């Protein structure tokens, strides 16, 4: 499993060498755009609308922040590197401990499995057992993918897991949602509430993740598999782009040579016919 991050996890004066591995695998079926006649993938070129240069080269692209209409402040790569070095979290410190139910699920972002480096197995098990015994989770800060994250560490089955969570200012207030009805505006009859509660209780079952499938993805994969089995596939032979360029250039040169050949004068044509007749 690919290692996303490795370093030290500090638990008081106890250091645990750890590695992080993504716990989530994207199962989305990727469909690409191709030209319906040529059957080649579509490429998207970078352009600057209104710029005389047309296509933009990678070295001509800089990072900027838009703070108003047509107003930008440019941030150099060096400035970004300096900030990253200053605020990058190289060692993860357990800041505090809370109850898991204190954090609303809206805050959770992405999950990573934690495993110990060689020599840290004992302290890893110690932290796992201590968290399990107290029923607490740890709050940490960590730098992942050039960004500082707030995260929690908790027990997951027989191991530990780190889950990045959103900062409070990243979670929008529900007050921004319009037309939310209040209990003062809507009156619910007791018999309606009892019936709804009864229905919820009847549909309550233990949560078994394997019982839930992505039906659309399954159907799409079945459709693709059926098309492949029926050989209902579009085949495009792979062409060496350099060879194609050479061929197209030679064709263009030969056509140009033919088009630019000087026409024979009437005297030359007559002499040529006389010579053929004599021979």
Structure-model confidence comparison of residues 259 and 144, the more confident one: 144
Domain ranges of the chain: 5-26+89-169
Q: What is the pLDDT of residue 252?
A: 62
- The proportion of the chain whose per-residue pLDDT surpasses 70, expressed as a percent, equals 82
Q: Given a cut of 80, is residue 138 above it in pLDDT? A: yes
Q: What is the pLDDT of residue 116?
A: 94
Please give the backbone phi and psi of residue 192, each rounded to the nearest 5 degrees, phi first: -70, -40
Across 177-205, average pLDDT? 90
Across 112-125, average pLDDT? 93
Terminal alpha carbon distance of the chain: 85
Q: Given a cut of 50, is residue 44 above it in pLDDT? A: yes
H-helix segments, 9-96: 77-87
The sign one gets for the Cα dihedral 121, 126, 131, 132 is positive
Question: pLDDT confidence of 104, banded at 50, 70, 90?
Answer: very high
Q: Across 3-12, 47-56, 91-100, 108-117, which has the greatest mean pLDDT? A: 108-117
Q: Given a cut of 60, is residue 32 above it in pLDDT? A: yes
> Cα–Cα distance between 249 and 246 in angstroms, integer?
5
Structure-model confidence comparison of residues 133 and 85, the more confident one: 133
| Opening angle at CA 54, ends 49 and 56, nearest 5 | 90
Question: pLDDT confidence of 173, banded at 50, 70, 90?
Answer: very high
Across 228-254, average pLDDT? 59
Q: What is the pLDDT of residue 248?
A: 55
> Cα–Cα distance between 277 and 279 in angstroms, integer?
5
| CATH fold of the domain at 5-26+89-169 | Ku70; Chain: A; Domain 2 (2.40.290)
Q: What is the pLDDT of residue 134?
A: 94
Q: What is the pLDDT of residue 246?
A: 46
pLDDT digits (tens, 9 = 90+) for 242-272: 545 445 556 665 666 666 666 665 555 555 5
- CA distances from residue 23 to 20, 113, 127 in whole angstroms, order as listed: 9, 6, 20
């Amino acid at each position: 499993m690919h290692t996303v991050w490795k370093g030290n996890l500090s638990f008081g004066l106890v250091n645990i060498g750890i590695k992080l591995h993504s716990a989530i695998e994207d199962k989305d079926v990727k469909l690409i755009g191709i030209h319906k006649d040529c059957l080649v993938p579509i490429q998207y070129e970078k352009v600057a609308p209104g710029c005389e240069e047309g296509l933009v080269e990678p070295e001509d692209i800089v990072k900027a922040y838009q703070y108003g209409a047509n107003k930008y402040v440019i941030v150099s790569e060096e400035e970004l590197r300096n900030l990253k070095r200053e605020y990058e979290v190289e060692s993860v410190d357990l800041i505090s401990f809370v109850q898991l139910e204190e954090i609303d699920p809206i805050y959770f972002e992405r999950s990573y499995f934690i495993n110990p480096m060689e020599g840290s197995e004992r302290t890893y098990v110690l932290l796992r057992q201590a968290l399990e015994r107290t029923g607490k989770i740890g709050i940490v800060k960590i730098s992942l993918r050039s960004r500082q994250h707030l995260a929690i560490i908790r027990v997951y089955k027989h191991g530990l897991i780190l889950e990045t969570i959103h900062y409070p200012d990243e979670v929008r207030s529900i007050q921004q949602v319009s037309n939310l009805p209040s209990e003062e505006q809507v009156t619910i009859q007791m018999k309606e509430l009892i019936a709804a509660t009864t229905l919820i209780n009847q549909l309550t079952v233990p949560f078994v993740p394997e019982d839930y499938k992505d039906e659309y993805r399954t159907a799409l994969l079945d459709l693709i598999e059926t098309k492949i089995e029926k050989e209902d596939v579009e085949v495009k032979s792979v062409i060496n782009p350099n060879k194609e360029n050479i061929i197209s250039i030679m064709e263009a040169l030969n056509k140009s040579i033919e088009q630019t050949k000087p026409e024979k004068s009437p005297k030359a044509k007559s002499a040529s016919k006389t010579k053929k007749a004599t021979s």
